Structure 1
Amino acid sequence: MPQTDYYKHNPLIHRDRRLSKSSSEWVRSFSCEDLKPLIVCRGPIRKEAMDVYQEMGISHYGILLSEKDSIVYPNALAPELRQLTDSNRVHRVPDYSGASKEERVERINQIIGIAKDNGYDSIFAGYGFMAEDEEFVAAIEKAGLKFIGPCAATQARAGKKDEAKRTALLVNVSVTPGVDNVTARTLVKKHDSREKLLALVKAEGLECDAKILKDTSLSLEALADHILMTSYAKGIDLYSIEELCAQVQEEVAELFRKYPQSRFRLKAIGGGGGKGQRILGASLLGTKNADEKAIAKAAAEAPAMVREVLQEVKANGVGDNKNVLIELNIEQTRHNEIQLLGNGDWCISLGGRDCSLQMHEQKLLEVSVTQEGLQAAIAKAKAEKKKDEVAALESDLKVLQRMEEESARFGQAVGLDSASTFECIVDRDRHYFMEVNTRIQVEHRVTELCYSLKFTNPKDKNDFFIVESLVEAMALLAQHKQRLPKPERVVRFNASVEARLNATDASLSPHAGGMIRYWSKPIKGEVRDDQGISMLNPDTNQFMKYKVAGAYDSNIALLLTKGEDRLCSYERLSEVLRSTTLRGSSLATNLEFHYGLVNWFLGRNVMAKPTTRFVVPYLTLVGTLKEEANKLDVVYAFFQMKKHYAKLVTEQFGDQPDVLAKELKNMSALLDRKGTLITRPMERLLDDPHLLSGWLSINTKNFKIEKGKVIWLRNPLGVLRDTYEYLHMDFRPHKPAAEIIWDHDQELLKQGLDFSRKIREHFGLHKDEYDKLNEILHKDKPQGGFDQEMWDQIRSAHYGFEVGLEMLGMLFLIGENTKFWDMKVLDDLEVVIPDYLTDLDLQARMKKILVPPPTTKADEIVAVCGGMYYGQEAPGLPPFVSEGMHFEKDQPLYIIEVMKMFNTIRAPFAGTLDKIIMEGGDGTIVQKGQPLFKITPDEKFVEVDPALIEKEKRERTTTYLKAVL
């Protein structure tokens, strides 16, 4: 059976969850076996909830399926159904949350109806869809059902980003500068006196609190805010989206003046998972004294962004709360969050997670940050006398302690009665509260691997039970809320890390529609959370193909590891990623990105402090590796190397024709025997820049470059062996030859390594002392007690095993020529990002290097990716383009919705749109490369001669080869 179940198949972390089986009467009283939950979320959290509930002894649970899961997208049927075979416990709706406000209300009623009609007493919404929907939770509570998550009152106080920020200010929690009441300011702009606002209340028949209306001490904005709340309850708008957009534009212009050289983030008060957020002001980032014209131009971006934000979170309907936060975007910032758990009376923090490695506001790699882990890292750094690292880690520890204290205080203030996450941005030794996610997080496992919860009988300290799952804790809270004593957090591991395996291409752009046809089994110790995709067919024991549909988010699975320290957890994650094989058709994932990234940190320092700005420059750097790698021809290099050695032999034996013929033959045979041994891994690395990035990083200390020449500091045979292992091409008899080192290459490599080891041991040298061994073996006079004949044979064998391996050094030159090592980690753990990698034009160009645009005719514009097409910014607005119009470079042409994210696609060049050839209107699903428009470009495109490209490639390869031979 595949080990996809975190709890069942990992003996390190499994405990019996059936509290009813305990010998303690007090423990048995907390049994949840009579809980009857309906699971209304999807993805990995749905299957996790199913597994946990089953292990808790909960037998009456059901799941909700969207038609998009099972009908709209063939082969996207929920794989959990292989486990849940009772059709009476599977319920269907058209879409989980609806496409509009009306559909959302309809869905809420439908879900509650399904629960009541089928005997469910509670609803679990996981970390998506309606998990943070105050209206949904309130309706559930009103219907007499339990919500397994924070109650409606907590959702109101903490779930909406504007309310949470105001609460944070009340309880002395640090917040980011900005504006949290732009809708109130919009209303005051429209009705600019107390009398006018009161007249509005009367005219619209709003049911406002009389005490608030009579309180003349209230500011106009506070009064307007209360009036707006009543208008939302009535389902009417008191301002238009255009008026809101104008107010946001005015506010950001003022903020640009107040905070020069800054960008600002627009955030819908709902949303999550990166949805409903945009950043504006990039053009002012490097401008010290921006004039009013530049400020106005930057602020003019706001209206379009506001519409996109509201559309993404479905808050653009009549009566929706359209408030948008405007926050200073602190550039050099890390994204840290604290896991919280409460029962309404007590609130406990469970350490932190660093989620700074993200892109498109979507987290990619999440790392545990705990006091115990940092204390251990500090002790280790002190022992190694790393003073700067000690200071940096001690600063982090102080910040974490403050965040944990503030988060628990905030949770207490809002009456937190389930799991939530307190999110902060950290700027060196300062932190700012950002928002609270009133739900369980995707990365909650990171915390579970570090801490368990010990609930102890207040009357008997020896009477207790352990909870290791936040999903289980949420069920316990829903069933026994006030009775649960405040738990003690118990350390399990000092470190853990999670990689989100997403359906994205090499540039991390969403890539929907791929079919998974094979997924390797998890290795020992791997924690793999998927929704059952890798679970085999229970009847045939065969893998079942699964389509990664574009209807929802891009996540395929969560891959986690743990360890005694961060280095151990990273090394284990590297092993997991290396061992993971995913195959399919039209399938693209970020597996190689993660592998390269994890090894980048392993080669530098896993305790590094990357900011939220790290990933895009890092991708740009990887793009430069690919651009340079594209200029090399490994096979051509190999044959040129053979000519080089033939020339050397000829120079040595040119006056001895018979000897020359023999030596040339021997040299040719020697190199030919190594051909595939050297070229196969090199071609693999040159083909995938993410793999090359990780390889260059972990080999940083194995070479140096002097006067343009590569000097090896470690035996290249050892590096080659490790390269095969790094690429998962090392010898494994059960694997096909195409995926591993070939038999004859394996034998040759083994012979060379055995020889080198014996010689090194003979001279009493460590494996890292290759330079000393090389120096010894370059001496003509016998060393180490050998006679001349044996010494000549040893030197000849050494030369024979290593000749040709110089070609590997070409990879180091790629790193040198792309300034790969300029992006580095300093002694104080800060990450240096070279300025050139932040250049927007370079970033855009490298994105196209990583994933070349789809091939197109000179008179067409095609879809850049698959997804849902929209030709206008929002319903009711004019289309971006029309037939016959002229468009400029960077002008918006259309929007593609992929994985719930709206991407505005801009013109790559200027031209005239002759004809719209896409069939269907807004909401039509298009495929990557599908022709959308017939156009006439302003400039004629000139095709490059392939022969010229090949000529330049060979010249570049020759230049590289000269530097290693």
Structure 2
Amino acid sequence: MENVAISQWPFHKVLVANRGEIALRVIRACRDLGLQSVAVYSDADRNALHVRMADEAYHIGPAVAAQSYLNIPKLIEVARQSGAQAVHPGYGFLAENADFVDACQAAGLIFIGPSSTAQRSMGEKTAARRTAQAAGVPIVPGAMTDMVDDQEIQAKAEELGYPVLLKAAAGGGGKGIRLVREPRDLLTSFRTARSEAQTAFGDGRVYIEKAITPARHIEVQFIADSHGHVVHLGERECSIQRRHQKLIEESPSPIMDEALRKRMTEATINLVRSIEYVNAGTAEFLVGPDRNFYFLEVNARIQVEHPVTEWCTGVDLVQEQLRVAAGLPLSFSQDDIRLRGAAIECRISAEDPENRFLPATGTVWGLQEPSGPGVRVDSSLYPGLQVPLFYDPLLAKLIVWGHNREQAITRLRRALDEYTIVGVRTTLPFARWLMDQPRFISADFSTDFIAEEWEGRQKIADLRLLSPESSEEGQNGSTPPAEELSLEQLAALVGSLMAQEHQVQEQARRRPAAQDGASANRWLDVARRDGLRRI
């Protein structure tokens, strides 16, 4: 490990271009290293914890992300105004935006993440598939569908064999994906996928690939420095997911053995070296019933689920990101990495799991977060927090560690029982339910687990509501599944939620603290006492 005084680093102040728990995570890593941190906040986040925790905080615009957290010129201006020399993007927002990397470099800022070249080679899915194939990494059979007619699309699907997946070429984060099980659904699904891709990513290209089913979703964490060192930190199991959105992650994977781990990690290292990648990233794979694995994508950033890897390896990944960005070598080698015990993470989101995970909003009036041996909470919550609808619904992450998976599940069950959030519907009830499911406890699951178990349970409940014994209200007032809502129903739902959000924001705007910076509660009093500058 190379010890270089912070005063000799090329940066001593870091702009954190994000919000919520990941912004807090980066701020804490900076503080541990003796670096200063600069937070940014929108109208909706004026009293957020990351604003209070940072050494400085700057307002960057309205609640809408496009006018604040995605506003590249404004972020660059804040970095200049604050004197920050480096930018950490966290995850989401601009974390994998190559144009943002270029803008930072043009402004003389150090981007704490991979280069724009590496991001572009991995950001577009078909380009990433070609790169992986060239590096000898197995990929799922598939093909692009642009510039081909309907008959060719149908022929390709038949050649691959159903079920197939349609994926947005420029997609990410589980968005822009549609599963097609029957030939009769292919063309309709294709047109819908193309429209969704154009709307979500400004790029309507779609490719088709063979659906591996049942499959496990397993990813390999890696980090590389500018001195030629590339190290993997084991794998994470991410198969507990709903519509390609992860809900639970754990390390190590319950199905992993040393032979499979060796093959997957070697493939990851080869891929990383082939694109001259520097900083932290994750290679994601599907593992089929035959234990063959297939490349999905590289996430060129820190992941939501990085704490489970940190706990099993003892490595602070965010601090390593900062070291690598400063031009230092990694503080460890591959031989130093030893996986220890088992860790599991629950994502706690402002969603209603009993109502098809629809987004929720409101004010957190009561909060008790768990603690004790083997428990970690990465959270942006506090009593009085007004949960906005403008951003990802993730509120907190509950992570536990045990000497083995059985102990980790026991600790997680205990921690979930201690966790109380009053005022906003969250995914806590789902997590508590999961901890008692025999298939989860025995690790007998795939990416279809939620559809088979949780959503299957809800369908039975819906059928009961519609049975002759049900009340008239139950027959006529039940809510159709979210995927079956009409456009009018969806518009009404969004309108209702936005009206609630507007009311919450209007109340916040009228508070004295929102106009003159006066303390609204003891948290702000403490922040002001400790010298927080609100710009």
TM range (shorter): 0.7 to 0.9
Deviations 1:778-833 (A, max 9, x none): xxxxxxxxxxxxxxxxxxxxxxxxxxxxxxxxxxxxxxxxxxxxxxxxxxxxxxxx
Deviations 1:73-98 (A, max 9, x none): xxxx41233434x6x53332335751
- Asked if structure 2 preserves the Cα contact closer than 8 Å seen for 1:477 and 1:484, the reply is no
- Asked if structure 2 preserves the Cα contact closer than 8 Å seen for 1:64 and 1:92, the reply is yes
1:170 lines up with 2:112 in the alignment: no
1:281 lines up with 2:143 in the alignment: no
Report deviation, 1:270: 3.8
Partners in 2 of 1:616 and 1:580 — Cα distance?
A: 26
- Asked if structure 2 preserves the Cα contact closer than 8 Å seen for 1:263 and 1:328, the reply is yes
AA aligned to 2:22 is I
Partners in 1 of 2:466 and 2:105 — Cα distance?
A: 50
Aligned-residue Cα RMSD (Å) equals 3.5
1:138 lines up with 2:102 in the alignment: yes
Partners in 2 of 1:139 and 1:109 — Cα distance?
A: 8
Per the alignment, do residues 298 and 33 of structure 1 end up closer, same or farther by CA in structure 2, a change over 3 Å counting? closer
- Asked if structure 2 preserves the Cα contact closer than 8 Å seen for 1:280 and 1:298, the reply is no
Which secondary structure state, in structure 2, belongs to the residue aligned with residue 363 of structure 1?
strand
The partner residue of 2:230 within 334, 342, 347 is: 347
- Asked if structure 1 preserves the Cα contact closer than 8 Å seen for 2:6 and 2:34, the reply is no
The partner residue of 1:613 within 443, 448, 460 is: 448
Report deviation, 1:41: 1.1
Partner of 1:950: none
Runs ≥4 in structure 1, deviation > 6 angstroms?
846-849, 854-858, 860-865, 921-924
The partner residue of 1:330 within 187, 212, 221 is: 212
AA aligned to 1:509 is F
Per the alignment, do residues 355 and 299 of structure 1 end up closer, same or farther by CA in structure 2, a change over 3 Å counting? same
The partner residue of 1:564 within 393, 396, 403 is: 403
- Asked if structure 2 preserves the Cα contact closer than 8 Å seen for 1:37 and 1:124, the reply is yes
The partner residue of 1:264 within 147, 157, 165 is: 165
Partners in 1 of 2:45 and 2:208 — Cα distance?
A: 35
Per the alignment, do residues 863 and 347 of structure 1 end up closer, same or farther by CA in structure 2, a change over 3 Å counting? same
1:522 lines up with 2:95 in the alignment: no
Per the alignment, do residues 425 and 469 of structure 1 end up closer, same or farther by CA in structure 2, a change over 3 Å counting? same
Report deviation, 1:583: 1.5
The partner residue of 2:487 within 890, 893, 896 is: 893
- Asked if structure 2 preserves the Cα contact closer than 8 Å seen for 1:504 and 1:511, the reply is yes
Which secondary structure state, in structure 2, belongs to the residue aligned with residue 399 of structure 1?
helix
Report deviation, 1:338: 0.3
Report deviation, 1:893: 2.6
Which secondary structure state, in structure 1, belongs to the residue aligned with residue 73 of structure 2?
helix
Partner of 2:73: 109
Partners in 1 of 2:357 and 2:455 — Cα distance?
A: 14
Partners in 1 of 2:62 and 2:32 — Cα distance?
A: 30
Partners in 2 of 1:250 and 1:310 — Cα distance?
A: 22
The partner residue of 1:434 within 296, 299, 310 is: 296
The partner residue of 1:83 within 50, 53, 56 is: 53
Which secondary structure state, in structure 1, belongs to the residue aligned with residue 259 of structure 2?
helix
Deviations 1:468-512 (A, max 9, x none): 311111111111246877564433632100011122222441232
Partners in 2 of 1:356 and 1:434 — Cα distance?
A: 13
- Asked if structure 1 preserves the Cα contact closer than 8 Å seen for 2:90 and 2:302, the reply is yes
Which runs of no fewer than 5 residues in structure 2 stay unpaired? 502-535
- Asked if structure 1 preserves the Cα contact closer than 8 Å seen for 2:87 and 2:112, the reply is yes
- Asked if structure 2 preserves the Cα contact closer than 8 Å seen for 1:353 and 1:368, the reply is yes
Deviations 1:371-418 (A, max 9, x none): xxx7xxxxxxxxxxxxxxxxxx5x744222211110011011111100
Deviations 1:683-742 (A, max 9, x none): xxxxxxxxxxxxxxxxxxxxxxxxxxxxxxxxxxxxxxxxxxxxxxxxxxxxxxxxxxxx
Partner of 1:49: 26
1:401 lines up with 2:259 in the alignment: no
- Asked if structure 1 preserves the Cα contact closer than 8 Å seen for 2:41 and 2:51, the reply is no
1:639-658 alignment runs, 5 A limit: none
Report deviation, 1:571: 0.8
Partners in 2 of 1:847 and 1:170 — Cα distance?
A: 54
Which secondary structure state, in structure 2, belongs to the residue aligned with residue 365 of structure 1?
strand
Per the alignment, do residues 890 and 251 of structure 1 end up closer, same or farther by CA in structure 2, a change over 3 Å counting? farther
AA aligned to 2:154 is A
Deviations 1:19-77 (A, max 9, x none): xxxxx9x5134775942110011121111111111111112x2111123434xxxxxx4
- Asked if structure 1 preserves the Cα contact closer than 8 Å seen for 2:166 and 2:190, the reply is no
Which runs of no fewer than 5 residues in structure 1 stay unpaired? 1-23, 71-76, 190-246, 285-294, 375-392, 453-467, 535-543, 628-843, 866-888, 898-917, 929-965
How many percent identity over aligned positions?
26
Partner of 2:518: none
Per the alignment, do residues 260 and 156 of structure 1 end up closer, same or farther by CA in structure 2, a change over 3 Å counting? closer
Report deviation, 1:333: 0.3
1:699-778 alignment runs, 5 A limit: none
Partners in 2 of 1:363 and 1:110 — Cα distance?
A: 31
Partner of 2:284: 423
- Asked if structure 1 preserves the Cα contact closer than 8 Å seen for 2:162 and 2:211, the reply is no
Report deviation, 1:421: 0.4
AA aligned to 2:177 is R
Partners in 1 of 2:378 and 2:465 — Cα distance?
A: 30
The partner residue of 2:39 within 51, 63, 68 is: 63
Partner of 1:378: none
Higher RCO (Cα < 8 Å, 6 or more apart): 2
Decide which structure has the larger Cα Rg and report it.
1
The partner residue of 2:457 within 611, 622, 628 is: 622
Partners in 2 of 1:44 and 1:594 — Cα distance?
A: 19
The partner residue of 2:498 within 910, 920, 925 is: 925
- Asked if structure 2 preserves the Cα contact closer than 8 Å seen for 1:281 and 1:299, the reply is no
Report deviation, 1:564: 1.2
1:253 lines up with 2:88 in the alignment: no
The partner residue of 2:190 within 285, 292, 302 is: 302
Report deviation, 1:606: 3.2
- Asked if structure 2 preserves the Cα contact closer than 8 Å seen for 1:354 and 1:368, the reply is yes
AA aligned to 2:246 is K
AA aligned to 1:608 is A
Partner of 2:510: none
1:447 lines up with 2:284 in the alignment: no
Aligned residues: 494
Partner of 1:596: 433
- Asked if structure 2 preserves the Cα contact closer than 8 Å seen for 1:40 and 1:96, the reply is no
TM-score (norm 1): 0.47
- Asked if structure 2 preserves the Cα contact closer than 8 Å seen for 1:566 and 1:607, the reply is no
Per the alignment, do residues 862 and 599 of structure 1 end up closer, same or farther by CA in structure 2, a change over 3 Å counting? closer
- Asked if structure 2 preserves the Cα contact closer than 8 Å seen for 1:856 and 1:862, the reply is no
Report deviation, 1:862: 8.9
AA aligned to 1:323 is R
AA aligned to 1:450 is C
Deviations 1:184-212 (A, max 9, x none): x42xx6xxxxxxxxxxxxxxxxxxxxxxx
Deviations 1:73-125 (A, max 9, x none): xxxx41233434x6x533323357517xxx998x2122112212221111111
Which secondary structure state, in structure 1, belongs to the residue aligned with residue 78 of structure 2?
helix
Deviations 1:352-388 (A, max 9, x none): 0000000021111111026xxx7xxxxxxxxxxxxxx
Partner of 1:147: 111
Report deviation, 1:323: 3.3
TM-score (norm 2): 0.83
Report deviation, 1:582: 1.8
Deviations 1:744-768 (A, max 9, x none): xxxxxxxxxxxxxxxxxxxxxxxxx
AA aligned to 1:445 is P
Partner of 1:697: none
Per the alignment, do residues 521 and 264 of structure 1 end up closer, same or farther by CA in structure 2, a change over 3 Å counting? closer
Partners in 2 of 1:557 and 1:515 — Cα distance?
A: 15
Partners in 2 of 1:396 and 1:556 — Cα distance?
A: 34
AA aligned to 2:430 is F
Report deviation, 1:163: 1.6
1:840-855 alignment runs, 5 A limit: 845=463
Partners in 1 of 2:448 and 2:199 — Cα distance?
A: 26
Which secondary structure state, in structure 2, belongs to the residue aligned with residue 92 of structure 1?
strand
